[in-house]
Amino acid sequence: MTRPPVRACALAALAFGALLAVALASARGVEAQTPSTPSPAPTAAPPRIPTDAEALAVEHQLLCPLCVNERLDICTLAICNDMKQIVRARLAQGASTEEIIAYFEERYGPHIRAEVPRRGFNLVLFGWVGGALAFTAAAAAVVLTSMRRATLSRARGFSGAPSEDPALDTLIETAEREEFGAPSNGRAGDGGGR
Amino acid sequence: MDVTATLGAAALVTALAASVLATLASTVGHLRRQRALLAAGRRGIDAVAALTTVAVAALLYALVTNDFAIAHVSSVSSRNMQTAMKWASLYSGQPGSLLFWTWTLSLFLAAFTRITVPRIPWAAPHAVATAGVILAAFLAGLVFLASPFRLNEVPPLDGRGLNPLLVDPGMLIHPPFLLAGLVSTAVPFTLGTAALLSGRLDGAWVRHARGWALASFLVLSIGNLLGAWWAYTVLGWGGYWGWDPVENSAILPLLPMTAFLHTLLVQERRGMLKTWNLVLVLAAFALAVFGTFNVRSGLVASVHSFAQSEVGAYFLALLAITIVVSVALIVWRVPRLHAEADLDALASRETALILNSYLFVAIALVILGGTLFPVLSELVRDVRVTVGPPFFNAVIAPLLVLLLVLIAAGTVLPWRGGSSRQHARRLRVPALVFAATAALVGALGMHEPLALAATSAAATIGYVTAREVAVGARGLRAARAVSWPAALLGLLERDPRRYGGFLVHLGVAIIAVAVVGSMGYQQQTRARIAPGESFEAGGYTFRYVDLVARRPGVNGIEVEGLTIIDVERDGRRVATLRPGRRFFSNFPEQPIAIVAVDSDLRRDVYLFVQGWDAQKRAEIQVFINPLVAWLWIGGGVYTLGGLLAFGAVGRREPVRALDAAPGAASAGGPA
């Protein structure tokens, strides 16, 4: 194998990385939006009856302390019905969503949080995610680089083999020529690089 | 003495002996070049399949005849269970599911031994020996640790009955598909291992593995789709995928298997990615074993993990051995795993396929990490945390969007690349479709970037797939002067794998749109009302008519409470739904929801009752879930595509296999 065209490969790796970064950045966007409904109740407001939507928004961020992975709003256990009452009472007193979650966390433990907090030991999880993505992106870049053949100068023509049937390949090739115009240098069916 | 139990247990012990003999006979036969021993090895695998079938039949017979002397029967069945539901009892609970798993495994491996092993003389003994070892490992667990034929010291008069969550017709098909899907990863694994052991590492094993990999992919996919459907219609939380540890375990092996189905094309055509393909099939099986261990051991407790067990440590050991042996085999053979060709161009189908497979692996690693992190947290800090949908949705969704973009790009980019002018021509219209879709749905009110990107990518997949098919059909039409429908059928007949694959992509695009709609635009309302009252939600009026009781008298159901609710829109009745709750005599603490859904192509009206008081005042939850019907339609298209792709299996060796002349296509000339 000849010297890999480092620039092209670096570009490819960069592009892949950039895509991942954009994807991850927008993921944060989703997350910021997910608690779709209300902002925490105004702290100094007089006692009032919280709406169902407000209560649901808090319940979505809590889990049943006894079941596993069961959202509070769905769970029908007695303990969860009590928790729902407490959510409403606290909302009526003007508590914020985070205060209510913290209250339950103190009572039952961190596993009642629907979302893993991004702090402390939990950062290991996020480190794993970042590491896994970086590792696979890097591995893909390295693999592509090492496989990349240097003969870039030779312009290539049509696809190698669209299908598994030579006759069909020819037909597709003809149709593709009509669709996308003539290749610059004929088809690259010579199996070069072996 | 219980005759049925003795027969079943004896069949399992004999099957274990047969599997060990199959391995020994194959190994000795190979070393001493004795054909008779090799044949005996193959027969051994047949014998295992026959004997485990006897064991399954014995257990089924015990279930049907209410033989409560057998502990498994009394723990998962009862006298008033319908006979059909007893099929679900067969694979519920620890020993039952392990027996079902091992039985399916033996059927797959016996089919493999009959169909594929005779065609791979260069690795036949290695394949049979590997199959024997896998079977022996699971049979040993079944015989020594979790026998389904253990007897009760004092047979009870009646059994406990099936777990309430499983008393549902969906349970008759979902677990068999899922278990069979997990098990089916063993066949590509066996082929890969046999190739490594024998040292013949060219494209041959891949050619023989592709049909099995496709089967595995398809069965696993159907299992997961059925699981989503079951979760949606039974669990009553308004969704179909909850990133539960068991769901994660079920989808994990599918990811490397799907990646393998794509990268095997690269190995077949270009002789590249040999090591990578081996890694993928070995990983798929390791993840299937992990899934079994995860579910069986109750390691990561979850709604599914009702099976708490003594076999946890055993499966952990099996998993460790699988991983260590796989890695060792690959490291041993690395010198023989060099590529036969180099990459011609970065902007090529190969690149898209390689990136796609790495993306699948990235997704698998992230899901694996999220699934195991609670265990780590508990081990290290003794703190229980929950890693659930908020985490997975945030992390996986962008990766899935990237996957959709790669599907579209991979469909457009030609093998081995081409000139940049050509790329521009090929990419121009798809890019326009992407931008136009984004603009359109943006104007319609979708502003979340990921949702926009997913929808646009899905539309682009639709377009590029249609274009590829149209171009092919036009070529065929021009050459044969046939009608359009005939040309389309002709394409499918000539290359089922390519066009079936396109259909799978289309199914994925449809599913993506359904997921965006149902997850991003779900509305949830809750109301506490008495009979005669009504409430509004999502533009519908829900009138609570009455609460009624029903006593089916079967399957351990004590009583069902059903609320009758008229759904109206603009004063016109849309549907009458009957959501409720089902109570079980033997599981008083575990009532389950009866979900009621009115579905059309635009939305599902999904009702779920949380409970009621003595005055029949009920708490009712309403979900308006947009586009959920398209999830099942997309699933159907996906499945159909997978089935059609089977047309390529066994009919013909791939024309452009490694050993075929690469220039063959040009020689054909236009007809």
CATH number at residue A102: 1.10.8.640
B245, closest residue in chain A (CA to CA)? A69
- Interface touch B475/A76, C-beta < 8 Å: no
Q: Tell me the shortest Cα–Cα distance from B173 to chain A, in angstroms.
A: 24
Kindly state the tokens that stand for A124: 């290991």
Q: Of B167, B185, B205, which marks where a domain is finished?
A: B167
* Structural domain contains residue B339: no
Residue A190 lies in a domain: no
Q: Which of B126, B151, B167 is the last residue of a domain?
A: B167
Closest alpha carbon to A71 in B424, B522, B627:
B522
Residue A15 lies in a domain: yes
Q: Is residue B467 part of a domain?
A: yes
B415 in reach of chain A (CB within 8 A): yes
Predicted confidence at residue B109, as pLDDT, reads: 97
Domain boundary among B167, B198, B218: B167
- Chain A positions in Cβ-Cβ contact with residue B389 (cut-off 8 Å): 114
pLDDT at A150 exceeding the cut of 50: no
Using CB atoms within 10 Å of the CB of residue A69, give its burial: 0 to 12 exposed, 13 to 18 middle, 19+ buried: buried
A90: nearest Cα among A101, A81, A80: A101
> Considering only CA atoms, which of B91, B610, B93 is closest in space to residue B308?
B93
In a domain, B49, yes or no: yes
CB contact under 8 A, B472 and A172: yes
- Band the pLDDT of A163: cuts 50, 70, 90: low
User: Searching chain A, which residue's CA lies closest to the CA of residue B620?
Assistant: A74
pLDDT score for A21: 52
In this structure, the answer to whether residues A28 and A46 fall within a common structural domain is: no
Interfacial B residues in 378-407 facing A (CB < 8 Å): 380-381, 383-391, 393-395, 397-399, 401-402, 405
Instruction: Write the burial class of residue B60 (CB in 10 Å: 0-12 exposed, 13-18 middle, 19+ buried).
Output: middle
Residue B319 lies in a domain: no
Instruction: Determine how β-strand B592-594 pairs with β-strand B580-584.
Output: antiparallel
Low-confidence ranges of chain B (pLDDT < 70): 297-310, 418, 648-671
User: Residue B501 sits in which domain range?
Assistant: 398-519+633-649
Q: State the first-to-last Cα distance of chain B, in angstroms, to the nearest integer.
A: 75
Q: Where does residue A42 rank: exposed (0-12), middle (13-18), buried (19+ CB within 10 A)? A: exposed
The DSSP letter of residue B172 is G
B533 located within any domain: no
Task: Please name the residues between 15 and 74 in chain A that touch chain B, using a CB distance below 8 Å.
Answer: 16, 19-20, 22-24, 26-31, 33-34, 52, 56, 63, 67-71, 73-74
d(CA B588, CA B596): 22
Q: Find, in chain A, the residue whose alpha carbon is nearest to that of B528.
A: A52
Residue B100 and residue B111 in contact, taking contact as beta carbons nearer than 8 Å: no
Chain-centroid distance, C-alpha B522: 25
For the cut 90, the answer to whether the pLDDT of residue A152 exceeds it is no
Q: Is B110 exposed, middle or buried (0-12, 13-18, 19+ CB in 10 A)?
A: buried
Q: Which residues of A touch B611 (CB under 8 A)?
A: 76, 81
Is A26's pLDDT higher than 50? Answer: no
In this complex, is the C-beta atom of A155 within 8 Å of any C-beta atom belonging to chain B? Answer: yes
Name residue B542's amino acid: F
Residue B628 near residue A137, CB atoms below 8 Å: no
Residue of B nearest to A18 (CA): B402
Distances (CA, A) of A164 to A14, B19, B571: 33, 39, 58
Task: Answer with the residue of higher pLDDT: A65 or A190.
Answer: A65
Residue B499 resides in a domain: yes
CA B437 from centroid of its chain's CA atoms = 31
B425: nearest CB among A29, A114, A181 = A181
CB-based contact B475 A175, cutoff 8 Å: yes
In chain B, residues with a C-beta closer than 8 Å to the C-beta of A135 are: 365
A140, B237: Cβ pair inside 8 Å?
A: no
Of A116, A148, A192, which has the smallest distance from its Cβ to B385's Cβ?
A: A116
Tell me if A140 sits within 8 A of A122, measured CB to CB.
Answer: no
Q: Is residue A25 part of a domain?
A: yes
User: Is the domain of A44 the same as that of A105?
Assistant: yes
Angle at B650 between CA B645 and CA B651, to 5 degrees: 80
**What is the pLDDT, as a whole number, of residue B117?**
95
CB nearest to A188's CB, from B276, B344, B661: B344
CA distance B579 to chain A (A): 14
- Chain A residues in contact with B380 (beta carbon < 8 A): 121
* Burial class of residue B215 in the structure, from the number of CB atoms within 10 Å of its CB (0-12 exposed, 13-18 middle, 19+ buried): buried
Neighboring chain B residues of A67 at a CB cutoff of 8 Å: 303
In a domain, B82, yes or no: yes
The owner of tokens 């992190």 is B373
Residues A28, A42, single domain; the answer is no
Q: Are residues A95 and A47 in the same domain?
A: yes
Which amino acid would we find at residue A78? A
Residues in chain B within 8 Å Cβ distance of A139 = 358
With b for 16 or more beta-carbon neighbours within 10 A and e for fewer, the A72-81 pattern comes to: bbbbbeeebe
Whether A30 and B394 lie within 8 Å, measured CB to CB: yes
pLDDT of A125: 95
Contacts of B548 by beta carbon, 8 Å cutoff, 6+ apart: B561, B562, B564
Number of domains composing chain B: 2
Report helix, strand or coil for B211. Answer: helix
Of A11, A30, A190, the CB nearest to B450: A30
Residue of chain B whose alpha carbon sits nearest to that of A12: B346
Q: Is residue A1 part of a domain?
A: no
Between residues B61 and A67, the one the model is more confident about: B61
Q: What is the Cα–Cα distance from B566 to B506, expressed in whole angstroms?
A: 37
pLDDT at B650: 55
CA distance A42 to chain B (A): 22
In A, minimum Cα distance to B500 occurs at A163
Which segments of B465-595 are extended strands (E)?
A: 523-529, 534-537, 540-550, 557-569, 572-577, 580-584, 592-594
User: Quick check: B421 contacting A, CB < 8 Å?
Assistant: yes
Contact yes or no for B194/B255 (Cβ under 8 A): no
Are A193 and B665 inside 8 Å of each other by CB?
Answer: no
Same domain, yes or no: A44 and A101? yes
- Do B319 and B293 contact (CB within 8 A), yes or no? yes
Question: Is the CB of residue A183 less than 8 Å away from at least one CB of chain B?
Answer: yes
- Residues from chain B that touch A181, judged by Cβ atoms under 8 A, are 421-422, 425
Find chain B residues with C-beta within 8 A of A109's C-beta.
383-384
Asked whether the beta carbons of B263 and B283 are under 8 A apart, the reply is: no
Reduced DSSP (H G I as helix, E B as strand, rest coil) percent helix, strand, coil of chain B, to 5:
65, 10, 25
Test the A interface: residue of B246, B391, B493 with most A CBs within 10 Å? B391
pLDDT tens string A107-141 = 999 999 999 998 899 999 999 999 999 999 999 88
Q: Tell me the two tokens of residue B470.
A: 């149209």
For residues A139 and A89, state if they share a domain: no
Q: In chain A, what residues touch B524 (CB-CB under 8 Å)? A: 56, 73
Domain count, chain A: 3
Nearest residue, CB atoms, A166 vs list B385, B478, B665: B665
Which 3 state secondary structure label does DSSP give B373?
helix
Return residues 428-467 of B near A (CB < 8 Å): 448-450, 453, 467
Domain hosting A172: range is 157-183
From B244, B366, B608, residue closest to A129, measured CB to CB: B366
Q: State whether A27 and A44 are in the same domain.
A: no
Strand partners, B523: B624
Rounded CA-CA distance B360/B255 in Å is 6
With CA atoms as reference, the chain B residue closest to A186 would be B418
The gap between the terminal CA atoms of chain A, to the nearest Å, is 10
Greatest distance between any 2 Cα atoms in chain B? 84
B23, B24, B25, B31 alpha-carbon torsion, rounded to 10°: 110
CB contact B358 to A (< 8 Å): yes
Examine residue A191 and state whether it is found in any structural domain, yes or no.
no
**Residue B583's beta-bridge partner residues?**
B559
Q: Does A180 touch chain B (CB under 8 A)?
A: yes
- Does the residue B89 lie in any domain? yes
Q: Is B590 on the interface with A (CB under 8 A)?
A: no
Contact check, Cβ <8 Å, A169/B245 = no
Residue A76 lies in a domain: yes
**Which pLDDT band, with edges at 50, 70 and 90, does A47 fall under?**
low
How many angstroms separate the CA of residue A24 from the nearest CA in chain B?
6
Is B402 in contact with A184 (Cβ distance < 8 A)? no
| B474 shares contact with chain A (CB less than 8 Å) | yes
Query: Closest-CA residue in chain A for B476?
Result: A171
Does residue B339 sit at the A interface (CB-CB below 8 Å)? yes
Q: Which residues 125-154 of A have a C-beta within 8 angstroms of B? A: 125, 128-129, 132-133, 135-137, 139-140, 143-144, 147-149, 151-152
**Whether A64 and A83 share a structural domain:** yes
